[in-house]
Amino acid sequence: MGRAESPKPVPKDDAGKKGEKAEVAKKPSFMVIYLTVFLDFFANGVVLPVLQNHARSFGASGFNVGLVFTAYSAAQIPGSFLFGRLSDSIGRRPIILISLLMSTLTLLLTLAAPDLNSLVAARALAGFFSETSVCQAYIADKTTRETRPAALGHMGAFIGLGFMVGPATGALLGLFGGFALAVKFTVVVTALNLVYAHRKLDESLGYVTNEATPVKEEKTDLGALISLVLRPAMFLAFAGQFAITFAFMGWDTTYGLWAKERLGYEQKHTGWAFAWLAVGHFLSSWKMRSFAKDPVNSAGGGLLGCAFMGAGLLGHRFVYSTLPSLPGLFGIGFGYALSEIVFQTLVSVHSPKGLQGSMLGTLSSMQALARAISPMATGYLFDMAPGDLDFAYMVLAGMTGVAAVITIVAYSMISSPPTEDKATKAD
């Protein structure tokens, strides 16, 4: 009773026989996975505004405060790959439920941490079990190549919505009850999310869609995975995702310092700025997803996303008050979301069903690597040019240009998603 029934998959042997029609499951609803992702990102967003000051209460230096956040991303690098790979074997549902359970437990550990080292360890453990890529694989299982961009876009919109509402809620709770109240609130939210997902979330692995190309037996061993990752187009997609994430996270983790120096912002003003950026992220994810439906539009969408981000970063040099900053903030959020959807779609659409979790997990690991090193690298750029507050963002704008070039080259190598017949001949 506690688990929603999943559509019965058609056995691969039966589905592949000529002259036999496989019974395709009804059109799936992703509202359960969307709500699950939203609540997870909302809960994490609530903690972020109060975590920095809590680390400071342990006597943390600026470097150690950064370490608290870096630990989360660094632990995602192995976690995303391992759990993505595991989800290809045992299914998406158990991995998602384990992730939600550990989200609740690691928040309790964060609350109970007696010192800075314990706090860093708790955040690292939380990052290791944070498996957004498995949710993406869940969507990939239940969609065709034509419908996947829209579904991934909707998921990105719910992530943006969580980022929009979470930090504002955390800042408000922090005013009334500080760190303890904010974390206790998120523990309740994640626990309810776990209960909801346990009751409503079905298993997607083995779900049968009405793909135009019949699904045949695929190689899913480690050798096949490595071979796929090293294909030029795929390798470039990972590099492009790394570059665009590096640029975004470098800006994201230093904007508060820049805004305080240039605009005189306090924490509440920075929170409103991030909320406005999240509006751009949400609208891009929700409305512009159609760009990724075919290679030509997908490449155009990626270039547009890089252009929006680059322009937003370059625009900081001309901003000296709040109103002129709004278009750039919106552009950074809009551009990052659009570029992210394009790279996710490129990887998913051109990966076999049996390796969706592994490939999207590898992509997530590249994002985590960028998130882990970008804050420190951007901080170093600020130190390199103490007299030029905008220098670091000019360099980050260059990273979006690199991502744009990668987008062009990667899509020039792809004309259409590979068919099973082509894959067989290639083997």
* AA identity, residue 367: Q
- What CATH fold (topology level) applies to the domain 28-206+219-415? Growth Hormone; Chain: A; (1.20.1250)
pLDDT at position 406 is 92
pLDDT at 425: 39
Residue 367: name the closest of 275, 252, 246 by CA: 246
C-beta of residue 298 within 8 angstroms of C-beta of residue 292: yes
The 10 Å Cβ neighbour count of residue 343 is 30
Report the SS3 class of residue 387: coil
Q: For the whole model, what pTM was predicted? A: 0.77
Give yes or no for a contact between 218 and 352, defined as CB atoms under 8 angstroms apart. Answer: yes
How far is it, in rounded angstroms, from Cα 144 to Cα 146? 5
Please give the pLDDT value at position 14.
Answer: 44
Question: For position 218, what pLDDT does the model report?
Answer: 65
Structural contact between residues 243 and 402, judged by C-beta atoms closer than 8 angstroms: yes
Q: Specify the pLDDT at position 318.
A: 95
Q: End-to-end alpha-carbon separation of the chain, Å?
A: 45
Q: How many CA atoms lie within 13 A of 271 on its CB side?
A: 18
Residue 323: is it exposed, middle or buried by C-beta count within 10 angstroms (0-12/13-18/19+)? exposed
- State how far the Cα of 318 lies from the Cα of 138, in Å rounded to an integer: 43
Using CA atoms, how far apart are residues 404 and 393, in angstroms rounded to an integer? 17
Mean pLDDT per segment of 10 residues, for the chain of length 427 residues?
44 41 52 85 78 82 77 89 92 93 93 92 91 88 81 81 78 78 89 91 83 58 85 91 93 85 83 84 71 59 91 95 95 91 84 86 89 84 87 95 92 60 39
Q: For position 212, what pLDDT does the model report?
A: 54
> What is the Cα–Cα distance from 205 to 208, expressed in whole angstroms?
9
Residue 427 burial by Cβ neighbours in a 10 Å radius (0-12, 13-18, 19+): exposed
pLDDT at 144: 83
What residue segments make up the domains of the chain, in order of their start?
Answer: 28-206+219-415
CA-only gyration radius of the chain, Å: 21
Per-residue b or e along 9-47, where b marks 16 or more CB atoms closer than 10 Å to that residue's CB:
bbebeebeeeeeebeebeebebebbbbbbbbbbbbbbbb
Q: Position of tokens 């939203």?
A: 38
